[in-house]
């Protein structure tokens, strides 16, 4: 019977980044993936590597990733992950928008994030293609974007090179416990054994954890992204709006990748399959044209959807489960896990080998959801 030091369930960007960091510490690691590497949110997201407008608790994770990992990740992984650090503009037109942006700027500055409120002329200097109706923007020059698929596969490739085993098409059904300790995991046809188990299976972590009586409060939400035909390179910033009606950027190849929400997402009839709805792309497109009329003749060539794993406080769970020795959770990223994934990979690996993580993870403990006595 082969025994691993650590089994990770889920080969998204989070599972793959943790696997890479554990392999760097010379641990014997197995990653079990239900479908294909990166098939979940990790290959479907908008690629935003954003610190601005993060919740105050999560901001240190995002800043740590940007200050210490993203700029040199290409070299570490040996893959061009298309990381561009040209800033994030969050646009506003109205007085109500200005108030939202002022609050975002004040929150960021409290944590020493480089973040300013710009007026119309300053915004136009950075991105001349923006509508004349835009009057304000928050601007974080150290924000950026990267290619999510390449980043996920980059972590996977490097982890493989360092000796991590990956098995795809293997759906974990439950966690194995022997003598009150983690023993491994069980799939339909096989059992795999390890000293430690980490669930990094997005929303599905909830079902696997439930097999040992651990209740993770999360809901599943299907959201959409669309990509346009390519254009000459126009701007390199990540764009968002104070009203959160769309976000996106132009990729290295000239296509624009835009995402957004209609507000109807929780009420979609089907939260099981990755379907797209006929209303969503037009709704996102209308929002884009309000801010970038210059893009009016651009054709949308593809849309897709992916699931968010949303916790009640919209913060991730990066935690040991106190009640079960050697059982860990890395899930609940609530729609913003890509930007912090390099930090999560490093910090979770430290937690699992019982080294002091570079950042305090107390805000992300699983037991914060327990009823207070």
Ligand X SMILES: Cc1cc2nc3c(=O)[nH]c(=O)nc-3n(C[C@H](O)[C@H](O)[C@H](O)COP(=O)(O)OP(=O)(O)OC[C@H]3O[C@@H](n4cnc5c(N)ncnc54)[C@H](O)[C@@H]3O)c2cc1C
Quick one: which segment of 52-60, 97-105, 331-339, 354-362 binds ligand X (CB under 6 A)? 331-339
Q: How far apart are CA 62 and CA 360, in angstroms?
A: 13
Which one of 45, 138, 228, 319 is in contact with ligand X (CB under 6 A)? 45
- Tell whether residue 151 is a contact of ligand X (CB under 6 A): no
In the numeric block, which tokens belong to residue 343?
């930090």
CB of 357 to ligand X, least distance (A): 18
CB of 133 to ligand X, least distance (A): 25
- Tell whether residue 90 is a contact of ligand X (CB under 6 A): no
Q: How far apart are CA 288 and CA 284, in angstroms?
A: 6
- Among 129, 64, 35, CA closest to 91: 129
Q: How far apart are CA 329 and CA 202, in angstroms?
A: 10
- Tell whether residue 32 is a contact of ligand X (CB under 6 A): yes
Interface with ligand X (CB under 6 A), residue total 40
3-state secondary structure of 284: helix
- Tell whether residue 23 is a contact of ligand X (CB under 6 A): no
The torsion angle over the Cα atoms of residues 59, 64, 70 and 76, rounded to 10 degrees, is -150
- Tell whether residue 342 is a contact of ligand X (CB under 6 A): no
In the numeric block, which tokens belong to residue 210?
């439930």
Q: Is the dihedral of CA 92, 98, 99, 101 positive or negative?
A: positive
CB of 53 to ligand X, least distance (A): 11
- Tell whether residue 332 is a contact of ligand X (CB under 6 A): no
- Tell whether residue 15 is a contact of ligand X (CB under 6 A): yes
CA 114 to each of CA 50, 107, 140: distance values in angstroms, whole numbers, following the listed order: 12, 11, 6
CB of 214 to ligand X, least distance (A): 14
CB of 196 to ligand X, least distance (A): 16
Quick one: which segment of 11-19, 124-132, 212-220, 346-354 binds ligand X (CB under 6 A)? 11-19
DSSP β-ladder status, 3-9 and 191-199: parallel
Query: CA 60, 70, 220: angle at the middle one, nearest 5?
Result: 65
Q: How far apart are CA 150 and CA 2, in angstroms?
A: 31
Task: Map the footprint of ligand X across residues 258-277, applying CB under 6 A.
Answer: 259
Closest CB to ligand X among 11 and 182?
A: 11
- Tell whether residue 10 is a contact of ligand X (CB under 6 A): yes
Contacts with ligand X by CB under 6 A lie at 9-15, 32-35, 39-42, 44-48, 171-172, 200-202, 204, 208, 223, 225, 259, 306-308, 331, 333, 335-339
């Amino acid at each position: 019977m082969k025994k691993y030091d650590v089994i990770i369930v889920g080969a998204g960007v989070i599972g793959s980044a943790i696997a890479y960091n554990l392999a760097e510490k010379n641990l014997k690691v197995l990653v079990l993936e239900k479908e294909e590497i990166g098939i979940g949110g990790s290959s479907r997201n908008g690629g935003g590597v954003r610190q601005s407008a993060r919740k105050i608790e999560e901001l240190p994770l995002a800043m740590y990733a940007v200050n210490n990992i993203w700029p040199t990740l290409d070299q570490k992984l040996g893959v061009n992950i298309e990381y561009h650090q040209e800033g994030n503009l969050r646009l506003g037109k109205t007085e109500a928008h200005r108030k939202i942006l002022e609050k975002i700027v004040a929150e960021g500055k409290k944590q020493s994030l480089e973040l300013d409120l710009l007026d119309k002329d300053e915004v136009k200097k950075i991105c001349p293609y923006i509508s004349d109706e835009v009057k304000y923007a928050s601007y974080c020059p150290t924000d950026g974007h990267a290619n999510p698929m390449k980043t996920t596969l980059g972590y996977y490739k490097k982890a493989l090179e360092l000796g991590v085993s990956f098995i795809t098409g293997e759906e974990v059904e439950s966690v194995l416990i022997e003598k009150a300790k983690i023993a491994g995991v069980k799939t339909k046809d096989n059992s795999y054994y390890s000293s430690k188990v980490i669930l990094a299976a997005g929303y599905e972590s909830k079902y696997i954890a439930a097999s040992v009586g651990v209740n993770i409060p999360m809901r599943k939400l299907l959201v959409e992204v669309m990509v346009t035909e390519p254009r000459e390179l126009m701007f390199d910033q990540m764009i968002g709006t104070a009203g959160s009606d769309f976000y996106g950027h132009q990729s290295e190849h000239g296509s624009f990748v835009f995402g957004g929400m209609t507000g109807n997402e929780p009420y979609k009839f089907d939260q099981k399959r990755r379907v797209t709805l006929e209303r969503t792309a037009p709704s996102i497109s209308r929002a884009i044209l309000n801010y970038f009329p210059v893009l009016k003749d651009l054709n949308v060539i593809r849309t897709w959807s992916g699931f968010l794993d949303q916790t009640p406080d919209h913060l991730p769970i990066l935690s040991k489960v106190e009640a079960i020795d050697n059982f860990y959770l890395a899930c609940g990223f609530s729609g913003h896990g890509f930007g912090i994934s390099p930090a999560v990979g490093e910090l979770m690996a430290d937690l699992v080998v019982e080294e002091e993580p570079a950042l305090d993870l107390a805000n992300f403990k699983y037991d914060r959801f327990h009823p207070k006595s």
